[in-house]
Amino acid sequence: MRREDSARSGDKLDHNLKSISENVLVMEKEHKNSSVHKNLVTGIWNLNDQEFLTCGIEHALKIWDKTMQSCDYTIETHQPLYTMAVTGERGDIMVAALGVGDLIVFGLTNKNQLDIVEQAHHAAVV
C-alpha cells in the first residue's frame, strides 16, 4: 500500500494530500473537526500573531491559524515528534525531535522538509 493511500484525515482518505518527500506528507486546509490531535501533544510554539505550531506522538506537526481557529497544515512523519523549536534569522526553520534520536528540519515559509539528521542523539529527545 502506498503511503498516500494510508494517510487518512478522520475515516476518509484526504483528497488534499501533498507528498513532500518519502518521509513527509502534508494535508492542506483540513476541516476543523478532523484537524485535532488524537493523542498526546508534546510541543506548542507561538509563531506570530496569526499562527502557532503543535506537535505530538501521533506523528504529526500542525500549523494553526489563530484567526480562523483551524488547522492550516498537517505535516505527517513516520515517527512520533517529541519536541520542537523554531530558529533561523527570520524564525522560519523548525527543528523537531523525531523518534529515537533523529532530528527533522522543516522550512516554515514553504512548508517543506529541509533535512533529516539521523542518530543526532543516542536516545529520544524529550
User: Has residue 3 got a pLDDT over 70?
Assistant: no
CB 102 within 8 A of CB 120: yes
Gyration radius from the chain CA atoms: 14
- Report domain 3-117's class: mainly beta
Q: 71-110 pLDDT, tens per residue?
A: 888 888 888 888 889 999 998 999 988 877 889 899 988 8
CB 75 within 8 A of CB 24: yes
Q: 44-61 pLDDT, tens per residue?
A: 899 889 999 998 888 888
Domain range summary for the chain, segments of one domain joined by +: 3-117
State residue 86's pLDDT score: 92
